[in-house]
A = this chain, B = another copy of it.
Amino acid sequence: MKINFKHEKNGENLVIAIAQDYKSLEVLMVAFMNEEALSKTIQTKKAHYFSTSRNKLWLKGESSNNFQHVKEILIDCDMDAILLKVNPDGASCHEGYNSCFFRELDGDKIAKKSYNLDKLDEEDLKIIQARLFNPEDVYK
């Protein structure tokens, strides 16, 4: 029985990792973990991911101090995705929102228009959360 790090990026073997607020049940973000990130998460009870853009281990909160304290670790049927139930110190999104999923796609409007997902207008997306911090104040 083993965890299936089957998603590959830049030669790194990864699982998908979703973070969900363990109290509000809000989905906060989704990222990837390599084996090191999952091990560190288990050991420290702070969420670690593998940043596929910076190509390195990423302790969530290392820049923003918005750590995610891990309460439960769930694993899916195929053993290739992890769900972390976390207690977040603050906003989880680097854009300053509580969740990275702070915009809603207006499906009815898009369906009527063109189905062209390459050319979405600002008005097709609605911001549904309040901004909790200004990224420029946090990431210097």
Contact = CB atoms under 8 A, between A and B. Distances in A.
B125 A1 contact: yes
A57 interface: no
A101 to B, nearest CB: 4
A132 interface: no
Contact of A101 (B74, B107, B119): B74
B105 A1 contact: no
B75 A3 contact: no
Contact of A2 (B42, B94, B101, B117): B117
Contact of A70 (B26, B101, B107): B107
Interface of A: 1-3, 7, 16, 18, 20, 24-27, 29-30, 35, 38-39, 41-43, 45, 70, 72-78, 81-83, 93-95, 97, 100-105, 107, 110-111, 115, 117-122, 124-125, 128
A73 B104 contact: yes
Nearest to A76: B100
Contacts of A93: 76-77
A77 B95 contact: yes
